[in-house]
Structure formats: C-alpha cells, structure tokens
C-alpha cells in the first residue's frame, strides 16, 4: 500500500514549500515538487492536500499515561490516557512516566500501557523510575532497564526543588546520570534523565552542581516545568546556554497562570527572545497529571486534569499570539523532543523517517488528519483507528 499526499505546504518542521510526499511501508520514501506514479501494480491512495499544512506528528516527552496525581488522597488519583485523545491531539509519539506516586502506580502498568498504545497505532515509550529515590525499576537495576526493556529510553521524572522530592544529593544524581548514560550508550538509546523541577528557589542549582563537580554534562538532564515562573525560566535559559535542553508544560489552568506560571507558548517566545538556542526548547503536555485548584485559604477545593491536546494548542498559540515562526514553534513539539529522546526516526518530515504526519487547516490550524507509521488514525476530523474497545469507547 502506497500513500501519496499531494501538494501540501510542508513544514518539516523547516519550511519545504508545496510538495508531494510518498509513503510506503510506514515510512516516508520520497519528497518532491511533483511525484507521478503510473502503472503501479501496488494499490495507491492519493490524497489531495492542496491548501493544507503537512507537519510532523507531535512528540510528547511527558505523559502520565497510566494516570497521575493522588496528592489530595486516593480519590484525587487521575485516570489513564485515552488512546483517542492522543490521536485527536495530533500526538503520534509519546513517553509515559510515573510521578509522585510509585506506590499505588507501577512500572509494570506503565510498560503494559506503552505496549497497548503502540499496538493500537501510536509509538509509545516510557521512563523507568519516578519522582523518588532510591529509584524503582523493573529489573532491579537502572542500566539494565534501559538496555533490556524495549520501550524504556531513560529515567524520570526525578523530582528536585520540590517538597515532594526525595531531596537527592548531587552525588546520588550524578550516579543516576552516569548509569543512565552508559545504559543509553550500550543500547543505542538516549538514556536521558527527565527531571521534574518544583517551585523551590533552588531551581536548577543541583543540576549545575552535578555538572561542576562530576563528569556529567547538562545535556544528560532534561528538566521540565520550566515555565513555572519567570525566575525559573531565567535559570532554564542559562541551562540551555550551557548545552542543555529545557521543557515547558503545556497543560495549565487560569488559576495556575494567576499564581505566576507562564503559558508554554509565552515561555517559548521569551526564551527565543533571550537567546536560548532554538533547538534547545521543547513543549510537552504533562497530560493526565493533576492540576490542583486552591481556595482563598489555600485549601484544595478541586482538580483539573492535564490534556494531551494542549501541546497542539500551545505551539499554535506561540505562532498566533507571540509571533514565533511556524518552524520554531513546531520544532518544540516535534524535532527537538525527538532529538533529546534519541528518536532519530521521529519528529520530522524527511526520507527514511517514520510517516508520522498531521494535516492541518491553515486558517485555524485545526487538525484534520493524523497518520502514524503510515496508517491513518484520523481522517477529516473523524477517528478511523480501531482499538479492541472501539465499540464502547469511540
């Protein structure tokens, strides 16, 4: 089966202009101004995409695929990710993580969910570990988890600068970074250490300290929630200038924004303005994480749940509200996270890469169609993918 997408305006994420894109065997096999296939014995689907944008499927580097939260008691544990929400949000590659709770949640569950999402048609990976130390693993050893377990590409989200963290020392963090790095080197994976950064004024101090005192580079760490405040953003920009990559969280609420958080789109625009290298900035959804709401006395009075659709909303908002170029905004949701995660076949439109593609309506940026590994999951805003539960869950 061949698919030929004709005359779309292609952002790879850099602009390629109006092109035809040919897909075979789940991969992109040709990109040209005009591709004509005649007398083919193979079945061919031709898609007229004139006037549409063709962009890479989004790469979401932090999703609580099996649910998160629970910080207001067991009834505040959030539900797991719905496959169809990821499809509607244009996310074709994602990385699952545990969070604060690695007691009622398990890595086994995270592994099963990664396999299920991949079977259903997405590409899902996972981090071993959680917020806490000593690190919980599947095999009893961090390096072995990365080397022997297929969807495990790194470790995280390990918490620092947060009252919910295990308060790791620089020594402990250096050991974890070294183990993850060697596991990654030996298995050809990224071995990245995803770091949850809380709201303590210590910010990224611990990461800079590890870099100073040990043979560990800043690029070994991938700190997230850097749009939590302007002061954390400034630390983050410094981090990128030292060779690291930072991540902004797209899921938020008006309540959290009022408390000083910046929208991911705004943080992206500010970071670019202040000279952060454009390849060093990413946006993830933190989907299924809990977003607490507090009353005027500081008591928890309800929760929202992070949404995987936020990654699309925020890169588009960066373009529409903050004048970031389409390639730069899109790179934060595609090429840049794919690079940090070591997924060289993801996050771009180029010959040889997986055919993970979103077709967008250019006036509204609405997601019209979604393809992952050459298979359509959504066409003309209608889900066409099927899961084992599609009769009950669509």
Residues identified as active-site = 286
Identify the H or E element spanning 329.
helix 326-331
**Minimum distance between the CB of residue 194 and Zn ion, rounded to whole angstroms?**
9
Rounded Cα distance between 381 and 184, Å, is: 38
**Minimum distance between the CB of residue 162 and Zn ion, rounded to whole angstroms?**
8
Q: Report the Cα–Cα distance between both ends of the chain, in Å, rounded.
A: 26
CB-CB neighbours of 125 under 10 Å: 25
Is residue 300 packed enough to be buried (19+ CB in 10 Å), middle (13-18) or exposed (0-12)? Answer: middle
In angstroms, what is the C-alpha Rg of the chain?
A: 20
Max Cα distance, the chain (Å):
73
Rounded Cα distance between 73 and 77, Å, is: 7
| Residue 180 or 367 with smaller CB distance to Zn ion | 180
Residue 134: cis peptide before it, omega within 30 degrees of 0: yes
Instruction: Compute the half-sphere exposure of residue 81: CA atoms within 13 Å on the CB side of its CA.
Output: 37
**Minimum distance between the CB of residue 199 and Zn ion, rounded to whole angstroms?**
11
DSSP assignment, residue 159?
A: E
**Minimum distance between the CB of residue 292 and Zn ion, rounded to whole angstroms?**
13
Rounded Cα distance between 12 and 226, Å, is: 26
**Minimum distance between the CB of residue 225 and Zn ion, rounded to whole angstroms?**
6
| Residue 11 or 127 with smaller CB distance to Zn ion | 127
| Residue 157 or 314 with smaller CB distance to Zn ion | 157
| Residue 120 or 157 with smaller CB distance to Zn ion | 157
- Nearest residue to the partner Zn ion, using Cβ: 196
| Residue 60 or 157 with smaller CB distance to Zn ion | 157
- Per CB under 5 A, residues contacting Zn ion are 157, 196
Rounded Cα distance between 227 and 235, Å, is: 11
């Amino acid at each position: 089966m061949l698919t030929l997408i004709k005359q779309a305006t292609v952002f790879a994420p850099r602009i390629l202009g109006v092109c035809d894109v040919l897909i075979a065997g789940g991969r992109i096999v040709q990109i040209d101004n005009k591709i004509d296939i005649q007398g083919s014995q193979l079945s061919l689907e031709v898609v007229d995409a004139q006037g549409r944008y063709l962009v890479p499927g989004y790469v979401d580097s932090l999703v609580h695929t099996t649910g998160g939260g629970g910080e207001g008691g067991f009834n505040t544990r959030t539900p797991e990710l719905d496959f169809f929400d990821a499809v509607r949000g244009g996310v074709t590659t994602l990385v699952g993580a545990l969070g604060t709770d690695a007691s009622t949640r398990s890595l086994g569950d995270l592994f099963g969910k990664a396999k299920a999402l991949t079977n259903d048609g997405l590409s899902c990976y996972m981090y071993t570990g959680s917020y806490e130390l000593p690190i919980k693993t599947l095999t009893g050893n961090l390096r072995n988890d990365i080397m022997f377990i297929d969807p495990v590409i790194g470790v995280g989200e390990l918490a620092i600068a947060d009252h919910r963290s295990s308060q790791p020392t620089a020594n402990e963090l250096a050991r974890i970074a070294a183990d993850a790095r060697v596991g990654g080197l030996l298995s050809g994976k990224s071995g990245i250490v995803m770091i949850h950064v809380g709201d303590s004024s210590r910010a990224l101090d611990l990461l800079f300290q590890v870099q100073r005192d040990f043979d560990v580079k800043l690029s070994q760490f991938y700190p997230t929630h850097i749009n939590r405040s302007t002061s954390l953003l400034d630390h983050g920009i410094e981090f990128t200038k030292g060779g690291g990559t930072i991540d902004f969280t797209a899921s938020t609420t008006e309540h959290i924004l009022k408390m000083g958080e910046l929208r991911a789109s705004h943080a992206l625009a500010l970071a670019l303005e202040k000279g952060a290298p454009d390849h060093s900035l990413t946006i993830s959804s933190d989907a299924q994480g809990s977003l607490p709401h507090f009353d005027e006395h500081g008591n928890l009075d309800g929760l929202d749940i992070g949404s995987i659709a936020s990654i699309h909303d925020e890169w588009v908002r960066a373009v529409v509200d903050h004048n970031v170029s389409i390639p730069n905004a899109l790179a934060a949701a595609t090429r840049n996270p794919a690079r940090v995660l070591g997924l060289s076949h993801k996050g771009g439109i180029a010959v040889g890469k997986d055919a993970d593609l979103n077709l967008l309506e250019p006036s509204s940026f609405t997601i019209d169609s979604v393809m992952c590994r050459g298979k359509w999951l959504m066409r003309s805003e209608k889900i066409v993918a099927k899961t084992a539960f599609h009769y009950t869950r669509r």
